[in-house]
Structure 1
Amino acid sequence: MSTAVAEAPATPVGQPPRSASSQRWLVTAAVMAGTMSTVLASTIVNVALPDIMGAFGMGQDQAQWMATGFLASMTATMLTAAWFVARVGLRATFVTAMLLFVLSSCIAGFATSEAELIAMRVVQGAAAGVTQPLAMIAMFSVFPLHQRGMAMGIFGLGVVLAPAIGPTIGGILIDQYNWRVVFFFVMPFSIAAIFLGSAFLPGRAANAISKPFDFLGFGLLCAALVLVLTGLANGQREGWSSAYILGLLGSGMLLGAGFIVWQTQARHPLLELSLLRYRVFASACIVAFIYGAGLFGSTYLVPLFGQGIQRLTPEGVGLILMPSGLVLALIFPVSGRLSDRLPAPLLVCTGLFLFGISSLLMKAIDARTAFWSLAAWIAIGRIGLGVMLPALNAGGVRSLPPAVLGQGAGMLNFVRQLGGAFGTNLLSVLLGERIAFHANALAATQNGDLTITYSWLASFEALLAQGGVPDGLPQQYGALYHLGRVIYLQAYTQAFQDCFIVVSALFFAAMLPALLMYAKRVKQ
């Protein structure tokens, strides 16, 4: 085994032949339902995050594990999918992973502590990581070559629509009930996937060859991810120069370096790092990492901003995200056709530029930003992602020899998910650091000798007096408390603006490696 994407298995004994049209679409329905449930789980929880933070008294550094833990575990277990398929078969792998996903979702929905909830999110991500690569393997095993494009298009449309409408429906359910309902919202899709998968997915191929699994490499990767992400998440609270944080980050980097060295020596590596010698593919990996960081990082930030600064309900946040999701679903078929006709660097750079502009526009957001302005700016970024992804996937592997196309596609997917995990983590860290920075800077400018501050405090004390608050210390404390809230909200707003500036700069910088993706087509 070399990556999360393997060659499609041969038609197993006892299964209908590929010409059975009904089975093809039932297989598509099974993997679409499973993938939709995992995609929903990765996005819909972000809408409920402020409510979850309030329910458990979680800080920003703890809450980000709800997203980061899911993405990190999904990234790691993606690399196990092909080995499981060769070992026990596609059907058993898919159904078992979906059962684990359902079980962890149920436990998360009834969680009584933040540790239990985060642990179940990690398990959810692990199950999602196994199921995601199975969709392509399953569809390639039942569709002939000339129908695979159409099948993947229909499958992709369903998967893209899920995060478009999911946050909106999730927001409505949260407003009507509570945050726990988001973990049960995915159940109908998951249960349908289990029943359809049990009935129609192919079993283990008679000629399947199970290669040894790289347990050492997998262990090194998981340990490195846990140590580095934990160090980054706890750095602000524990102190970046503390022995604890330096130990976590140093150990994680050493294990990460060990993973890279081992992958170059192992007989059956998880990742074919030798593919990075191809300039076009290496450039595509850099862009894919930034793509994942921008996509998942912004999806994490927007709900926090909407509910924290604009005081929107979860339903309101979902409605803001809905237009961008629908636009993305519409742009995918068009961009897929364009990727067959136009040079990959042109489309990738166009997408990067649009997302960079979108993030730059988000620099101006505050509590007064109009609903449709915010929705439009987010939609511009999603158009960029939609234009970029097909060209990035196709153009990234275009220069690779046909024998390693599967490994290349799997590695691109892995790098994109890895970017999502680190992007969410780092943007959360940056948000916390910039909140503290701006709060201290703003507080330092406020004192009783400053005329505007004195006038503001006096005006607010007068308002409190009109409301029946006793004179003296109660009014003074009330005015000072409100001033502190105003300072914090302003610092919170400026911190979000800083995060979007960083995202914008990253996407503009990624245009340089994108330009290096130019290559002549290799006849596949």
Structure 2
Amino acid sequence: MDVVKKIKESPNIRWFILANVALGTFMATLDSSIVSVALPTMSDEFKTNLGTLQWVVTAYLLTISSLLPVFGKLADILGRKRVYSTGFIFFTLGSALCGMSANLWMLVSMRVVQAIGASMLMANNQALLVSAFPLHERGRALGLNGTMVALGALSGPALGGVLVGLMGWRSVFYVNLPIGIIAFLVAQVILPHDLPKHEKIKFDSTGALLFAVGMICVLYAINNGQAQGWGSPLIIGGIVIGILLLSIFMRFERRITDPIIDFDLYKNKPFLIGNLSSFLSFTGQFANTILMPFYLQQILKYSTTQVGLLMTAFPLAMAIIAPLSGYLSDEIGPMILTTGGLITIASGLLYLTTTTAHSAFWMIFPGPLLMGIGAGMFNPPNTSSVMNAVPKNKLGIAGGLNALVRNVGMVVGTTLSVTLFENREASLLANIQHPSASQTVSAFMTSYHTVMLVGAIIILIATAVSINRVVPPHNGEQF
């Protein structure tokens, strides 16, 4: 008990809070990347195709995206410690039940439970850090947390491969159990009790339902439009119903006292600019994320080990640069770093337009490396700028919205890149009845370069948006 008391009374308690938040961030990010490695093994056990099995990933992503603002707002009402700690319970319980799943649809259902917990964690990690750290240290705290995002993405495929090989696919879920239990217990000790002063605020359950269902419909349609056909009734219906529900949601929110999303936040220029540039940056980055493995394996005939090495360049660079960028943003503000970061990402994408069907390993490596450096430069100061622009009683919803735009950017970027690539490739081969191997490779490379160019243009648009940010006074004051 004396140790617990000393930790709580320590002037460095904020660093213990950072460690706990970083653990939650690592766990949620790790689970996004570790499961993909286990899909082929799951397919064999459940005797199903990869198209159906994709729901193991899709259900997780859709649930998180639809609930981020909801749990951000709920934390502003009930307290961040309560919602964040509950996230560990849901995530750990969901992980255990995923590992025990007897069939595919039980697994998908338990992934939803797991995703509910992940959304509670992701919606509140930024708010917890901003509340714990003074203004002049927030950048480095957010930068270190960004490193955990990169490390989670970096270690997921490798750790997943080892676990599946040694203990089977269920182990990729069981690995979360000790992490989740420890993180929950630590959260009970170190996170401050932060019950809001205004406890009479009512939770907008109608708005939460409208938003969640609307987002699920729209994101499902965007995510599956290319595979099922953009003209299919299911995709058209998803888009129409989703937009209708979100339109009703927006009108409903403007008429009530305590909305899920306070749209007045978007009248705040640093908040608006930061979120918009974040959305565009993730959209542009994911032009390469989904296509590079196909280029490396199908065109260059690289082994999975070589592909893994090249793909780790991005998260490894980000893991190194993010804390440095966060530290510098506390000293010089976000403008130079966010602008430089976006330009560096665009440079990486433009560099990849020079690759060929015969490029050597060392000739490709600078592309993802530059993108990782740029992402590490951009993300921490941009997040710090966004979160510093809102009052303390709205940190939860601000963090939830900031996480949401990143997730939506990833979905839109993935869909845009695949759609553009396939349509461009089809048009190049349309008038060739029996394309030769060289013609197929040429069409692939032209299409790949087109997508990289479009991604770079999107990043440059993000740069133009980002340089218009107004930075709040950097006076070192806490809320």
| TM-score (normalised: structure 2) | 0.80
Tell me how far apart the structure 2 counterparts of residues 111 and 407 of structure 1 sit (CA, whole Å): 33
Instruction: Say yes or no: does 1:209 pair with 2:199.
Output: yes
Tell me how far apart the structure 2 counterparts of residues 80 and 90 of structure 1 sit (CA, whole Å): 13
Instruction: Say yes or no: does 1:499 pair with 2:447.
Output: no
Instruction: Say yes or no: does 1:359 pair with 2:349.
Output: yes
Tell me how far apart the structure 2 counterparts of residues 415 and 283 of structure 1 sit (CA, whole Å): 12
Corresponding position of 2:406: 416
Residue 375 (structure 1) shift? 3.4
Tell me how far apart the structure 2 counterparts of residues 318 and 492 of structure 1 sit (CA, whole Å): 21
Q: 2:50 aligns with which of 55, 58, 67?
A: 58
- 1:248/1:149 CA distance change after superposition, 3 Å: closer
Instruction: Say yes or no: does 1:218 pair with 2:205.
Output: no
Identity of aligned residues (%): 28
**Structure 2 runs not aligned, ≥5 long:** none
**Structure 1 runs not aligned, ≥5 long:** 1-13, 454-482
Corresponding position of 2:432: 445
Deviations 1:130-168 (A, max 9, x none): 012443555567677887676656555444433333333
Q: Tell me which amino acid in the other structure corresponds to 2:23.
A: A
Counterpart contact for 2:142–2:384, Cα < 8 Å: no
Q: Tell me which amino acid in the other structure corresponds to 1:324.
A: F
Deviations 1:437-478 (A, max 9, x none): 63575374245xx9xx6xxxxxxxxxxxxxxxxxxxxxxxxx
Q: 1:509 aligns with which of 461, 474, 479?
A: 461
Corresponding position of 1:380: 370
1:326-475 paired onto structure 2 within 5 Å: 326-342=316-332, 344-365=334-355, 368-396=358-386, 408=398, 410-431=400-421, 433-434=422-423, 438=425, 441-442=428-429, 444-447=431-434
Counterpart contact for 1:104–1:123, Cα < 8 Å: yes
Residue 381 (structure 1) shift? 0.4
Deviations 1:9-56 (A, max 9, x none): xxxxx9888524686655444333222110111233455567767874
Tell me how far apart the structure 1 counterparts of residues 359 and 257 of structure 2 sit (CA, whole Å): 56
* Higher mean C-alpha displacement, 270-279 vs 307-316: 307-316
Residue 272 (structure 1) shift? 1.9
Counterpart contact for 1:348–1:389, Cα < 8 Å: yes
Tell me how far apart the structure 2 counterparts of residues 212 and 129 of structure 1 sit (CA, whole Å): 21
Counterpart contact for 2:139–2:384, Cα < 8 Å: no
Deviations 1:57-108 (A, max 9, x none): 224xx67655554333223322233555467665553443223223333444
Tell me how far apart the structure 2 counterparts of residues 355 and 341 of structure 1 sit (CA, whole Å): 23
Tell me how far apart the structure 1 counterparts of residues 268 and 203 of structure 2 sit (CA, whole Å): 26
Corresponding position of 2:256: 266
- 1:505/1:490 CA distance change after superposition, 3 Å: same
Corresponding position of 1:479: none
* Higher mean C-alpha displacement, 334-343 vs 508-517: 334-343
Residue 316 (structure 1) shift? 4.1
Q: Secondary structure at the match of 1:211?
A: coil
Corresponding position of 1:73: 63
Counterpart contact for 1:163–1:325, Cα < 8 Å: yes
Q: Report the count of equivalent residues.
A: 471
Tell me how far apart the structure 1 counterparts of residues 390 and 77 of structure 2 sit (CA, whole Å): 28
Corresponding position of 1:41: 31
Counterpart contact for 2:126–2:399, Cα < 8 Å: no
Deviations 1:185-242 (A, max 9, x none): 4444223223433555455749672621121221111111221222234434544334
Tell me how far apart the structure 2 counterparts of residues 222 and 306 of structure 1 sit (CA, whole Å): 37
- 1:17/1:195 CA distance change after superposition, 3 Å: closer
Counterpart contact for 1:33–1:193, Cα < 8 Å: yes
Counterpart contact for 2:287–2:451, Cα < 8 Å: no
Tell me how far apart the structure 2 counterparts of residues 240 and 393 of structure 1 sit (CA, whole Å): 34
- 1:176/1:102 CA distance change after superposition, 3 Å: same
Instruction: Say yes or no: does 1:169 pair with 2:159.
Output: yes
Tell me how far apart the structure 2 counterparts of residues 226 and 284 of structure 1 sit (CA, whole Å): 24
Q: Secondary structure at the match of 2:9?
A: coil
Q: Secondary structure at the match of 1:268?
A: coil
Counterpart contact for 2:204–2:259, Cα < 8 Å: yes
Counterpart contact for 1:344–1:518, Cα < 8 Å: no
Tell me how far apart the structure 2 counterparts of residues 299 and 247 of structure 1 sit (CA, whole Å): 29
Residue 513 (structure 1) shift? 1.3
1:104-119 paired onto structure 2 within 5 Å: 104-109=94-99, 116-119=106-109
- 1:304/1:221 CA distance change after superposition, 3 Å: farther
1:171-210 paired onto structure 2 within 5 Å: 171-174=161-164, 181-202=171-192, 205=195, 209=199
- 1:149/1:444 CA distance change after superposition, 3 Å: closer
Residue 382 (structure 1) shift? 1.1
Tell me how far apart the structure 1 counterparts of residues 164 and 360 of structure 2 sit (CA, whole Å): 23
Tell me how far apart the structure 1 counterparts of residues 11 and 271 of structure 2 sit (CA, whole Å): 36
> For the pair shown, which has the larger CA radius of gyration, 1 or 2?
1
Tell me how far apart the structure 2 counterparts of residues 296 and 211 of structure 1 sit (CA, whole Å): 39
Q: 2:218 aligns with which of 228, 236, 241?
A: 228
1:231-246 paired onto structure 2 within 5 Å: 231-246=221-236
- 1:144/1:94 CA distance change after superposition, 3 Å: same
* Higher mean C-alpha displacement, 344-353 vs 85-94: 85-94
Residue 512 (structure 1) shift? 2.1
- 1:231/1:128 CA distance change after superposition, 3 Å: same
Counterpart contact for 1:427–1:499, Cα < 8 Å: yes
Residue 259 (structure 1) shift? 2.0
Instruction: Say yes or no: does 1:320 pair with 2:310.
Output: yes
Tell me how far apart the structure 1 counterparts of residues 415 and 244 of structure 2 sit (CA, whole Å): 20
Tell me how far apart the structure 1 counterparts of residues 20 and 107 of structure 2 sit (CA, whole Å): 28
Residue 276 (structure 1) shift? 2.0
Tell me how far apart the structure 2 counterparts of residues 515 and 204 of structure 1 sit (CA, whole Å): 35
- 1:263/1:387 CA distance change after superposition, 3 Å: same
Tell me how far apart the structure 1 counterparts of residues 440 and 178 of structure 2 sit (CA, whole Å): 41
Q: Secondary structure at the match of 2:238?
A: helix
Tell me how far apart the structure 1 counterparts of residues 194 and 418 of structure 2 sit (CA, whole Å): 42
Tell me how far apart the structure 1 counterparts of residues 139 and 466 of structure 2 sit (CA, whole Å): 25
Q: Tell me which amino acid in the other structure corresponds to 2:86.
A: T
Q: Tell me which amino acid in the other structure corresponds to 2:254.
A: T
1:290-329 paired onto structure 2 within 5 Å: 290-295=280-285, 298-303=288-293, 305-306=295-296, 310=300, 315-329=305-319
| TM-score (normalised: structure 1) | 0.74
